[in-house]
Structure formats: structure tokens, C-alpha cells
Amino acid sequence: MSQKKELRKGFRLGSLFCFMVATLLFTRCNAEEGNHDRVSMHMGTALISEDTVPVSDTIPADTIKVKVEPSTYTIIGVGDMMLGTNYPSASYLPPNGGKDMLASVEDVLQAADITFGNLEGTILDKGGKAKQCRNPSACYVFRSPESYVQHFVNAGFDFLSIANNHSGDFGQAGRTTTKAVLKEAGIAYAGLAGTDEYAIVEKDGMTYGMCAFAPNWGTCSIHDLGKAKQIVRKLDEQCDVVIVSFHGGAEGSSHQHVPKKRETYYGENRGDVHQFSHTVIDAGADIVFGHGPHVTRAMELYNDRLICYSLGNFCTYGRFNVRGVAGIAPIVAVEVDKEGAFVGGKVTPIYQQKSHGPKIDSQKRAINTLIELTNTDFPNTPLEITKEGELKRKE
């Protein structure tokens, strides 16, 4: 996390510098006593050597207009993560103890105040009662070694959702150990009904809240909008920025569009993710990170808040299909103000193959997909996604 702190420190020094320059110019224009000027000048000089805004000696100070930007905060969200399973056999684990899985994108993930992802499985070395499947030949249950939590720590994760269809794969023992391992590692988690409905993290003077919803056993229900509103309102009272995660919607390449109605998949009610997202934002949520369809879906700005309808498969080793559109995904960095309102953002496109975790995609496929889907599904949203992946308000 130290790298993360340094990046933030760099940003804060930049902000401080802007303030200094403004102060310096103000005092230059207005101060009559030389001592004020000297103090500011000294600080300004010391900081100029640090970085960023060059102040030209050839331009008179009183013609330079310095805009002092208010503080912003960067929240990163990614989709499904399952770094390898030791069940049904250790042959489903990646090489090198999983150390390489997130290595290519660690720098990107760390460059934020808060980094979020969906933990699609359990963390448990052995034991637990594996979920029984109707069709054993197509039975997917996930149990990652406890040592793998270090990979999430190294990548800078602060919040993980455990509201999904795999956090219960190894019964109560799986859930209990997963929570204990995350807690020990200093990673906050949420998404279980009655016990772990939300998590709060304080960082650099800001308070961030997170809650997570899904249609699955034991999780905070994506269908119970009344309860969801209650949880979000409570977080909104206590936190500066409220992040809501959901694992919902139908799966696969034929379900990339947001239908704006209830979705069912193999007979299961997977929620109305559009209504859910708008409801939680109306209740005080600032960012909605959706996942579950295993493909990327559109984004939308609603009431100045960003909704990502599906962040796709982010780091899913072994037993996941990562062919075609299931193998590309965005890393979404959202910049918000102190109230959590959207200021801007950046999408970093990644791709996976069967043999490796996320790598930066030079073809930028996830950005193109987001642009296309957002244009189709939310043509009137005030959100613009540029070809380089920049997120901004439409002019």
C-alpha cells in the first residue's frame, strides 16, 4: 500500500503547490511588506523543485490566473475475481502460487484512494462442505488458498464484495474462514445478510462506506429494495462516499445489454439491475459497481453518480470461460468530489487468456465495448467515454 500512499502524496503535494502558487501570486499582487513575499517565495521555490506547474519568469505574475481545484478522490472498481481453486483438485491453481495473477495491473489498481473488487469464491485451504450441484459434471465451486489473500493486499484492494453466487460454495465454514482471512489482511468486506451488511473504511480524513447485494443464499438481497435503501441511507449518514456493489443480471455474450426490467437466467431471478441502481442512488449511493454477467455492460451517469452495470471477468483463473467478450473487461477509476459526485474518470482496458490473469489490452476492446453499449443502452446519459477511455460529462 505504500506505493499507493506515495501516489496520493504526490497528488496532495500538487494540490498544495497550486494553493501555494495562488497564495504567492496573491501576496505578490497585494502584499506591501516584503516579509510576506519572502515566506511565500521560499515555500514556492522549495515546491517548484518537487514537480508540476512551471511558473515562467517571463510572464508578469499578475497576468497568471491560477485555478485552485477542489480536492477529488479516486475510487477504482473491478469485476469478478477468482485467482484459482484447490477444489476439486490443485491442478486448477495457477503457477507460482498465484503471484503472477494480478502482477501486470498492480500499478493501475494501486493508483486510487479506494480499490474495490468482487471476490467470486471462498478463501479456505481445505474442508468446508462443497455445494452440491444438480449436474456434477458442470459443477463449479471455488476454494482459493488462504495465502492468496496476499495478492489482493499487494494489488491495493480495500473493499471486496462477498455477495455473489460463490461466497457460499463451502457452506458456513467457507464464509467464516474467508471473512477471518480478509479481516486479518486488513481488507474490508460486505454483502452477507444480517451479519456483514456494510463496511466502513476511513482514509486520509475521508470516510468510505461499501455495501453489496446479490440474489443468492445468505447475501444481502438485490430484490429487497426497501432493505437496500435502509442500508444505503445509514451509510450515507456516516460516510462521505458510499459505494454500492451488486452481482446481478443474466450471464454471457447474449446478455450484454441492460434490459431495464427483471432478468431471469436458468429460472433464477437475477434482479432488475437498472431499478436497483437508481433506487440506491436515490437513497444516497455515490458509485454503483455491478458485476455478475461475466461480460462488460454499459455505464450511466444518474444524478451525477456513476453506475457501471457490469465490470465483467477481471481475474478469473482456470474454470472460467474467458473466450471472446468474456475475456475483456475494464478497470474503472472514478474521480469524485468530497460529496461523492462524479468529477471524471478513466477506463483501463484489460484482457485475459486461459493461461494468465489481466493484462493491459493495447487493442482497447473493453473501451470500445463500453462506448458501443453505452450509446445503445443509455443514449441520453450525460456521460461521455472517449476512445482513450477518459470518462467525462458530455459538453
Give me the residues that bind Zn ion (CB under 5 A), please. Answer: 164-165
Least distance to Zn ion from the beta carbon of 251, Å? 8
Judged by CB, which is closer to Zn ion: 165, or 256?
165
Judged by CB, which is closer to Zn ion: 115, or 165?
165
Least distance to Zn ion from the beta carbon of 165, Å? 4
Least distance to Zn ion from the beta carbon of 350, Å? 18
Q: Are 292 and 252 in contact (CB under 8 A)?
A: no
Judged by CB, which is closer to Zn ion: 157, or 302?
157
Residue nearest to Zn ion (CB): 165
Judged by CB, which is closer to Zn ion: 44, or 293?
293
Judged by CB, which is closer to Zn ion: 164, or 296?
164
Judged by CB, which is closer to Zn ion: 164, or 352?
164
Judged by CB, which is closer to Zn ion: 320, or 378?
320
Least distance to Zn ion from the beta carbon of 392, Å? 31
CA distance 148 to 125: 10
Least distance to Zn ion from the beta carbon of 254, Å? 17
Least distance to Zn ion from the beta carbon of 361, Å? 22
Least distance to Zn ion from the beta carbon of 64, Å? 53
